[in-house]
Amino acid sequence: MPVTPDDASLMDVQQGGRCFFCDGPVGAKATFDHLIPQAYGGIDDPANVVLAHRRCNQRKGDRLPTHGELDRFFALRRSSRLGVWPPLRALRDEEGSEEELWMAVARAIARDR
């Protein structure tokens, strides 16, 4: 389900009004970044979305989140109704080459459908 204005407000509070990637203040200019990019099957749902500056969102582009970013995301979402999309957990548990990570994500997305 797409991010509602209520979801976005809650994300803003949980992120302390800061960009997920650079930790700078972002406020009302925040954009929605999909941790697993939509181009690769990432869902448009709060459980896969963080608030970020437009430039940080663009710089991230279509790469996968790093383990450090995933740890940060899981900490933010601990006991939050916004939740964590299961393929993000599968990615966190995977070690290996870039190609192996993409394969693990694809398998996890297929399982989630």
Interface residues with Zn ion (CB under 5 A)? Answer: 19, 21-22, 53, 56
Shortest separation between residue 21's beta carbon and Zn ion, angstroms: 5
Query: Of 21 and 73, which has the nearer Cβ to Zn ion?
Result: 21
Shortest separation between residue 72's beta carbon and Zn ion, angstroms: 13
Query: Of 21 and 85, which has the nearer Cβ to Zn ion?
Result: 21
Query: Of 34 and 53, which has the nearer Cβ to Zn ion?
Result: 53
Shortest separation between residue 111's beta carbon and Zn ion, angstroms: 32
Q: Is 25 helix (H, G, I), strand (E, B) or coil?
A: strand
How many H-runs (helices) and E-runs (strands) does the chain carry?
5, 2
- Reference 91, options 72, 110, 75, 107; nearest CA is 107
Sign of CA dihedral 20, 11, 18, 15: negative
